[in-house]
């Protein structure tokens, strides 16, 4: 029992660990001769309390694994924060670079139930904030499901087009050619995708203007938050992606007219403006959600359409999924992989992305954590040992008893830390 508790506590609360069969042998290594000596340590799955080596699932979705999603959220918080105020290898000067927080929406695909300032929705009802009808079409039969799904499927491409236009628009405002622009400035960003209730993806992004080498170089004198905001508005309104022709209709994708761009202030700033802490908390929160939390769809891929009969879905979510599934059968849309991403309502992009020079990476944060854990455990220095290991996949999840024990554990050291809200 104590051994099992120890093994489980190393998972930091993960409820769907990966189970591995195999072994790991550590040999002494004579650094002078390079010869391998005696086996120092032997670790084998059959002698472990759980009968397997257990590895965290690292799923980012709250609905799948709350503990791993929480780790992901904290890492994302640190990653975003580092790009806003420095730290983890990013210089603190980035706090003085022009930085904005922008939200890009999808266009309309038909009227939906909403809560306008005037109080009443077009259907005549004053919907409460938690009404399940909000975001669903007033008339599902005329709602443009085809365009809604295809828009999600092209949202990533539309974002890439926007970033190209943005550099162009900034260069133009600075009076530079695009080639010269690269010698003066660089645009860094971190973005996260979120689903609106109507099932359309929208993007939240931190966009920062740096000097030519990114965060470590000061931005040129002409680089201001106003110039950046103006360029973002111009680029977002002209970005356009030509989509497929379906049923004789050629789709073109643009962002919706609702575009929110706000300057990010430092934490010392008092007022109604956004602070870097609030932005980081906001982005981190959405990084752990999929379509399921906003739209009530599935949190994993469908294998057969018939599976829909066994899950509780809103009529709107089901119609989005069915549309994706049907379009997914078309040869000319094969590249969109709409069946594999039907549960995501067509969106197959990465949930959170960033440019290389925005700040650190999630991988680097994970490595730092592993390094910290190694430093806590007394061990033979690695360079004097030779390790042979072989592991094979043996399944996922916990047994009932393991799950019960896991629930009774306190969070493992090194997994507590950052605040939940900004
Ligand atoms: Zn997990
Ligand atoms: Zn309504």
Q: For the segment 285-338, what is each residue's pLDDT rounded down to a tens digit?
A: 877 776 666 666 777 888 888 888 888 888 899 999 999 999 999 999 999 999
Structure tokens at 378: 């007394």
pLDDT digits (tens, 9 = 90+) for 144-162: 999 999 999 999 999 999 9
CA 300 – ligand 2 centroid, Å:
30
**Ligand sitting nearest the alpha carbon of 135:** 2
d(CA 279, CA 398): 36
Q: Which residues sit opposite 403 in a β-bridge?
A: none
Structure tokens at 403: 């799950």
* pTM of structure: 0.79
pLDDT digits (tens, 9 = 90+) for 38-50: 888 888 888 899 9
Question: How many residues make up the chain in this entry?
Answer: 422
Buried b (16+ CB within 10 A) or exposed e, 193-211: bbbebbbbbbbbbbbbbbb
CA 305 – ligand 1 centroid, Å:
27
Measure the CA dihedral 121/127/130/133, to 10°: -60
Asked if residues 354 and 191 have their Cβ atoms less than 8 Å apart, the reply is: yes
CA 317 – ligand 2 centroid, Å:
17
CA 70 – ligand 1 centroid, Å:
9
Sign of CA dihedral 214, 218, 222, 228: positive
pLDDT digits (tens, 9 = 90+) for 307-321: 888 888 888 999 999
d(CA 258, CA 263): 17
* Averaged confidence pLDDT in the chain: 86
Q: Which residues sit opposite 45 in a β-bridge?
A: none
Asked if residues 205 and 189 have their Cβ atoms less than 8 Å apart, the reply is: yes
CA 67 – ligand 1 centroid, Å:
6
Query: Residue 328, exposed/middle/buried by CB under 10 A (0-12, 13-18, 19+)?
Result: buried
**Ligand sitting nearest the alpha carbon of 126:** 2
């Amino acid at each position: 029992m104590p051994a099992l508790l120890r093994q489980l506590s190393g998972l930091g609360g993960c409820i769907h660990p990966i189970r591995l069969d195999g072994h790991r042998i550590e040999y002494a290594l004579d650094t002078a001769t390079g010869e391998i000596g005696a086996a120092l340590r032997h670790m084998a799955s059959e002698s472990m309390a759980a009968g397997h080596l257990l590895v965290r699932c690292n799923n980012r979705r709250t609905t799948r694994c709350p503990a791993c999603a929480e780790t992901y959220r904290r890492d994302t918080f640190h990653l975003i924060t580092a790009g806003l105020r420095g730290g983890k290898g990013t210089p603190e000067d980035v706090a003085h670079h022009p930085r904005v927080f922008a939200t890009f929406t999808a266009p309309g695909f038909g009227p939906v139930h909403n809560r306008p300032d005037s109080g009443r929705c077009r259907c005549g009802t004053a919907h409460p904030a938690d009404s399940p009808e909000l975001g669903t079409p007033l008339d599902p039969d005329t709602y443009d499901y085809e365009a809604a799904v295809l828009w999600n499927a092209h949202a990533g491409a539309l974002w890439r087009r926007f970033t190209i236009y943005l550099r162009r628009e900034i260069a133009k405002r600075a009076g530079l050619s695009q080639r010269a622009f690269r010698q003066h400035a660089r645009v860094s960003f971190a973005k996260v995708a979120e689903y609106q209730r109507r099932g359309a993806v929208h993007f939240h992004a931190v966009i920062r203007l740096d000097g030519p080498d990114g965060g470590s170089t000061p931005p040129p004198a002409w680089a201001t938050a106003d110039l950046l905001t103006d360029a973002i508005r111009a680029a977002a309104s002209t970005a356009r992606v030509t989509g497929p022709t379906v049923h004789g209709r050629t789709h073109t994708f643009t962002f919706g007219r609702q575009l929110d761009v706000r300057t990010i202030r430092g934490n010392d700033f008092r007022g109604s403006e956004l602070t870097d802490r609030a932005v980081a908390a906001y982005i981190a929160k959405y990084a752990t959600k999929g379509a399921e939390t906003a739209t009530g769809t599935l949190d994993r891929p469908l294998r057969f359409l018939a599976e829909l009969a066994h899950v509780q879905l809103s009529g709107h979510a089901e119609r989005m999924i069915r549309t994706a599934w049907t379009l997914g059968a078309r040869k000319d849309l094969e590249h969109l992989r709409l069946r594999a991403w039907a549960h995501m309502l067509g969106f197959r992009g990465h949930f959170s992305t960033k440019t290389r020079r925005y700040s650190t990476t999630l991988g680097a944060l994970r490595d730092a954590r592993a390094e910290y854990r190694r430093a806590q455990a007394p061990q033979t220095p690695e360079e004097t040992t030779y390790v042979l290991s072989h592991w094979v996949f043996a399944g996922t999840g916990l047994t009932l008893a393991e799950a019960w024990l896991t629930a009774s554990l306190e969070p493992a050291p090194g997994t507590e830390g950052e605040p939940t809200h900004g």
